[in-house]
A and B are shown apart, each in its own frame.
Chain A
Amino acid sequence: MTALTTGPALSPVTGRRWSLGIAGAVALAAVLLMVVAAAWPALLAPGDPDAIDPRAAFTAPGPGHWFGTDESGRDVFTRVIHGTRQSLGIGAAATAIGVSIGLAIGMLAGLGPRILDSALSRVIEVLFSLPSLVLALLLVAVMGTGVTPTLVAVGLATAPGYARILRSQVRSVASSAYVEAARLEGQPALRVFGRHIAPNALWPLVAIATLGVGQAIVWVAALSFLGLGALPPSPEWGAMVNGGRVYLVRAWWLTLAPGLAITLTAAALTVLGRRLGRVVQA
């Protein structure tokens, strides 16, 4: 019933309870592990992700090759671990683009004059009415294929969603009692914005962006799967699923392992994002 866009901001930023719960702690640990895998992949998988060994092609998962090997005998586990950097990095970059644009538009709409707000709101609603992947495909049609265009396309496609959330967040904070009190005290507008509106409106962003990275990873992987983003030799997860698709029956692990990585990463980020949202709320 209650949607984010509706509630008035009841209290200013005060003491928060930093308790994530068990699920949140597990999710946080999983996310930290993925960050480690992205930063220092050799720690978890010392091998070379591109090392070819034709004699060992299509080895089933087992000791030595946890996730088996692919058509060229490359170790799938090593490739999944080494793909973390690209998948996580692309997801984070796309989210950063989406949040930045959403932030700019949301702030303008939420704090600007009424005419600007209703014009921007209209455009946001219309763009929001387009399914993300359809919007992203449209942008890929404009910009062409490749890693950077898909990353930018996913970022732009998610921007209307962020803009909506931020607009309503900014509006509800700006019309709250404590902001009014600060105004009545005679504090200058910039100070009211910097000390009261911005911190309270932006806090929820931490949670939203965490969730958003998970979602962006899935979208970018979907574009790679469709052959529009990263291409098969690269260990990007979506591209790996796409590459494994041909051998689905012969070597199911080629599809299973990278897809599992996408799903678990997105699930961990989602759980973490929700828990953070509750911390923000508390």
Chain B
Amino acid sequence: MNILRWGLGRVGAAALVAWVVTTVVFFALRIAGGDPTEAILGGPGSQAGEEAVAQARADYGLDKPLVVQYLVQMQRIVTLQLGDSYARKTPVAELVGAQLGSTMLLAVCALVLAWVIALTLATVATRAHGLAGRAVAATIQAGEVVATVVPHFWLGAVLILVFSSSLGWFPATSVGAAPAGLVLPVVTLAIPTAGFLGQVMRDGLAEAAASPFATTARARGASESRILWRHSLRHAALPAISLSGWSFGSLLSGAVVVESLFGRPGMGRLLLDATNARDVPVVVAVVLVVAVAYTVVMTVADGVERLVDPRPRGSARATDRPENRPTDSGTGSGARSSTDAPAEQSPRTEKAIV
């Protein structure tokens, strides 16, 4: 019953996201974005005659009142007919569908790699002892800060320079699922995310090591590695899991840059080209798909978090976060996990501010 309610809440949240996003995009583009007929007739500076303009306006329904156009757009989205691209004259659904797999593959691979790196670094930093250990831990900490802020476009260029131009290990261009071409784009995307997740995990491990359950386990005679693997890691993974949903969103941001840098076809390239051409239907469709993908990943992250966290919801968690009780955030479940995400900043700051 609980699961059903949670699932329905998630679907509702996704629908709400889709509706708000398309509405905002539609009106923003129409009110501030100038005349879309320009984009239809070959982009800015087109020399189309008045007849062609009138014809295009009629073809795309642009001669109707704005509200009617909006309702038509909504009806199309509900029936999954996203219309034709202004610039390419092909159905938007086809364009987006052709690129979706490539970008999702990139983002999912990057998220997995980021987790592997973050887990490794966090456990190494936590287990390091003595003077050398402290130096290792400090290096990892500094590395994480740099990794978190390094821009994708520059990191990718440096990786191309080292591993493609100088060493010749991997190609500098990437298409589809060819493993060799996928390496550099995935690493480029994964490093900043790994830095971010690593910090969250390290904080979680430190917190867990000082918590009563670790003391209890130690008092029972459990070894430090048993405490780490059986108790602390599970505790530390929770915030990292819930932040993974948010990280996935930032990976999609990064995909725009990485796809452009590596000449890799995908949603990011599509969005960038459509942005340049002011191709409204394509921009709307890509943003919509990104928003839905984000919600799906958030839902998965929330589900995994429930599996990893044995504590019943509403008791242990609610006392953890008095502000986050469902009654406090309107309809509840939809807003919950997203309140864990940082506002483009590190979880550290967030913590510091409490």
Contacts and interface: CB of A to CB of B under 8 A. Distances in A.
Check if A and B associate: yes
Interface of A: 1-8, 118, 121-123, 125-134, 137-143, 145, 158, 160-162, 164-165, 168-169, 171-172, 204, 207-208, 211-212, 214-215, 218, 221-222, 225-226, 228, 238, 241-242, 245, 248-249, 252, 255-256, 259, 262-263, 266-267, 270-271, 273-274, 277-278, 280-281
A259 B151 contact: yes
A165 B354 CA distance: 10
Nearest to B154: A259
Given A4-B351, A6-B324, A226-B272, A218 B151 contact: yes
A225 B253 CA distance: 14
Nearest to B295: A129
A278 to B, nearest CB: 5
Nearest to B338: A125
Q: Which 9 residue pairs of A and B lie closest in terms of their CB atoms, listed nearest first?
A: A161-B343, A259-B154, A7-B354, A4-B350, A277-B352, A133-B253, A266-B149, A131-B253, A118-B330
Contacts of B280: 141
Contact of A212 (B151, B324, B345): B345
A252 B287 CA distance: 35
A263 B341 contact: no
B271 A137 contact: yes
Contacts of B154: 241, 255, 259, 262-263
A225 B153 contact: yes
Contacts of B287: 130, 134, 138
Contacts, number: 236
B253 A134 contact: yes
A200 to B, nearest CB: 11
A5 B322 CA distance: 10
A130 B330 contact: no
Contacts of B16: 122, 126
Nearest to B141: A23
A274 B352 contact: yes
A31 to B, nearest CB: 13
A118 B28 CA distance: 23
A102 B58 CA distance: 40
Nearest to A135: B287
A140 B29 CA distance: 10
Contact of B21 (A4, A130, A172, A211): A130
Contact of B275 (A126, A140, A158): A140
Contacts of A141: 29, 33, 274-275, 278, 280, 283
A281 B20 contact: no
A228 B272 CA distance: 9
B249 A131 contact: yes
Contact of A4 (B207, B271, B354): B354
Contact of A172 (B254, B323, B338, B351): B323
A277 B345 CA distance: 12
Contacts of A241: 153-154, 157
Interface string B197-212: 0000000100100000
